[in-house]
Amino acid sequence: MLSFTERVITIIQKIPPGRVMTYGQIAKIAGSPRGARQVVRILHSMSAKYQLPWYRVVNAKGEIAFHDEEMFLSQKEFLEGEGIILKHNHVIDLTNYQFHPLLDDEIMN
């Protein structure tokens, strides 16, 4: 069985271009429904090593969670480059862009 960290990495790697997932959604699928902050830490520490599409992960409101202007603008640019349209106040419409695997097991295979 994969560890929580390994499951999170696998899930993030499988988010298709032009789609996003939330921190909490990833945590729940990975087996820890209250582990959204752990997902943040994994992204922060392992994105470069595993070449994770970190910019495809947003908060539960569909917002870019970075307070740092440079990182915020980088994520916004990556998302727009994949065709994601951000509404006013830089919010992503999760009903249009959120990735929902058909089965939790599907994303782990």
Could you tell me the residue ranges of all domains in the chain?
4-97
Per-residue pLDDT, 105: 54
3-state secondary structure of 59: coil
pLDDT band per the 50, 70, 90 thresholds, residue 90: confident
Confidence of residue 60 (pLDDT cuts 50, 70, 90): very high
Provide CB contacts within 8 A for 50, sequence distance 6+: 9, 13
The mean pLDDT value for 100-104 works out to: 70
Distance CA 46, CA 52 (A): 8
> Are the C-beta atoms of 84 and 92 separated by less than 8 Å?
yes
Domain 4-97 classification at class level: mainly alpha
Among candidate residues 24, 20, 38, 18, the one with its CA nearest the CA of residue 99 = 20
End-to-end CA gap in the chain: 12
Tell whether the model's pLDDT for residue 55 goes beyond 80.
Answer: yes
| 3-state class (DSSP) for residue 98 | strand
Q: What pTM did the predictor assign?
A: 0.91
Whole-number Cα distances in Å, 19 to 3, 7, 45, 93? 25, 19, 22, 10
